Structure 1
């Protein structure tokens, strides 16, 4: 089914905004729960997507991905500020704060998958196809965000979890990569290596979600 750009935006807008907003809000809620109020005081512990949108990473880059056939959907939001030193247990609590975002995407992916099953039951209903396409987009974006963010590359959540799990000497070495993490990701994306790394993981998670739903 060929969709116009406007139709694609209409289908993808809600799933993308929800995935990014809840991902960042989950970090903020977890940080406050474990003792760091930084994100809360800066107004980031909210479900208002305007507080989390990055004009380039949330709007421009995903839009370009939609325009390029076969492109891996890619993007980012404004990172939630976390003062790990303020957490009650910086290492253990910090890992939970970092994991909160991908976990929220997993929960949303399951929800969208259940909605997809419901859409498939609306046989012949005029709302079936739009709901089905939106649910498929919701599953795709949330699984992609979860898998991408769990890659062990700082400043991604997986990199943060690894950083807080390593002995101090090794953690200091890994922390030096963090300022260049986005550059590494863009290079992996441009060379196609990122897709090669993610596609097997995406298929594994899709299979598990289909079985659960």
Structure 2
């Protein structure tokens, strides 16, 4: 047996960048739990790192599902390494979603992996590829919310700040899952139903796809839509999980430490 036969394939080896993001999450979580350093900066770093990790996993899920669907090219493109720099549109998929949560607290993952759809046969496989990303966000939200529902009410400042960071990250994951499932061209919700549309309809909607994420962001910037979405949809979902909404509110307050007077999601 050759020495190299047991080595992981280079196109599936976890990238150093992803490991660094995990390290930042761990370090900031430890600082928050022990009440070391500036709590607001700690929450900011934890949520940003956690959000970027979830974006990597979101895109990985698309690529991995495509691989099993028949597109073996995702490996050579580096999509299975969890390296954000390997995706086709790093700015559209990572920088813009990060700016969105910093400025307005609106969580919208962007599409980043280029799937060679011609290699994939079957409408259900195409729909599954699009659904895989939001499924990661939904699963992440559920895990975080269950944790928050099970933990006892903290009596120390450090754990309270840590749970607030978890609450805000859970809210972002829940928001990302819901918004990305909207049937808007450019989002995964549209990608799920697109294979089932006629050719003429797909062609008509193709021109809207590059602006889908911006359209949703601008709609949520409207105070009426924003208030309904967060105070009705998100609140009613999160209240099933104990104090998660309270944690999310305080986490939002701590996260926006730079005070740009934009208020975040709860300020609209």
* Contact preservation (8 Å) 2:84, 2:94: no
More displaced stretch, 198-207 vs 142-151: 198-207
* Contact preservation (8 Å) 2:137, 2:174: yes
Partner residue in 1 for 2:9 = none
Taking a change above 3 Å as real, the CA distance of residues 166 and 64 of structure 1, as seen in their structure-2 partners, is closer
Partner residue in 2 for 1:83 = 116
- Equivalent of 2:143 in 80, 94, 111: 111
Taking a change above 3 Å as real, the CA distance of residues 61 and 77 of structure 1, as seen in their structure-2 partners, is closer
Deviation of 1:123 after TM superposition, in Å, equals: 3.7
Partner residue in 1 for 2:98 = 62
- Equivalent of 2:54 in 2, 8, 19: 19
Q: Please tell me the root mean square deviation across aligned C-alpha atoms, in Å.
A: 3.1
Q: Which has the higher contact order (CA 8 A, sep 6+)?
A: 2
The SS at the match of 2:80 is coil
Distance (whole Å) between structure 1 residues aligned to residue 72 and residue 157 of structure 2: 46
Deviation of 1:167 after TM superposition, in Å, equals: 3.1
Partner residue in 1 for 2:106 = 73
Q: Does 2:98 correspond to 1:98?
A: no
Unaligned 5+ residue runs, structure 2? 1-37, 245-268
* Contact preservation (8 Å) 2:106, 2:217: no
- Equivalent of 1:154 in 170, 181, 185: 185
User: Which residues in structure 2 correspond to 1:130-209 (within 5 Å)?
Assistant: 130-192=161-223, 195=226, 198-199=229-230, 200-207=232-239
Distance (whole Å) between structure 2 residues aligned to residue 98 and residue 197 of structure 1: 27
- Larger gyration radius, structure 1 or structure 2: 2
Deviation of 1:137 after TM superposition, in Å, equals: 2.2
Distance (whole Å) between structure 1 residues aligned to residue 219 and residue 113 of structure 2: 24
Q: How does the TM-score come out when normalised to structure 2?
A: 0.64
Distance (whole Å) between structure 1 residues aligned to residue 68 and residue 233 of structure 2: 31
Distance (whole Å) between structure 2 residues aligned to residue 123 and residue 6 of structure 1: 20
* Contact preservation (8 Å) 2:43, 2:165: no
Deviation of 1:141 after TM superposition, in Å, equals: 1.4
More displaced stretch, 42-51 vs 21-30: 42-51
The SS at the match of 2:70 is coil
Aligned length: 204
Taking a change above 3 Å as real, the CA distance of residues 81 and 46 of structure 1, as seen in their structure-2 partners, is same
The SS at the match of 1:140 is helix
Partner residue in 1 for 2:71 = 36
Unaligned 5+ residue runs, structure 1? none
Taking a change above 3 Å as real, the CA distance of residues 113 and 182 of structure 1, as seen in their structure-2 partners, is closer
Deviation of 1:178 after TM superposition, in Å, equals: 1.8
